[in-house]
Amino acid sequence: MAAAAPAIEVPAPRDSLAAKILRIVAKAPVQIVLAILGVLWLVPTLGLFITSLLPASAFTSSGWWQVFSHPSQLTFANYSALFHNGGMLDALKTTAYIAVGNTILVVVLGAMAGYAFAWLDFPGRDWVFIFVIALLVVPLQMALIPMFKLYDLWGIFDTVLGIILFHVAFGLPFAIFLLRNFFVGIPKYILESARIDGANEFIIFIRLMLPLGLPAIASLAIFQFLWTWNDLLVALVFGQNVQPITVWIAGQLREFGTSIDIIAPASFLSLIVPLMVFFAFQRYFVQGLLAGSVK
Cα atoms in the 13 Å half-sphere on the side-chain side of 70:
13
- At 165, the pLDDT band (50, 70, 90 cuts) reads very high
- In this structure, how many other beta carbons lie within 10 angstroms of the beta carbon of residue 138? 11
CA–chain centroid gap for 112, Å, is 20
* pTM summary value: 0.80
From residue 165, give the alpha-carbon distance in Å to each of 91, 104, 207, 234, 238: 19, 12, 28, 11, 11
48-89 residue pLDDT tens = 888 888 777 776 666 677 777 677 777 788 888 888 877 888
> In 10 A of CB 144, how many CB atoms?
15
Taking the CA atoms of the chain, what radius of gyration do you get in angstroms? 26
What pLDDT shows up at residue 33? 84
The rounded distance, in Å, linking the Cα atoms of 98 and 93 is: 9
Q: Is the pLDDT of residue 243 over 90?
A: no
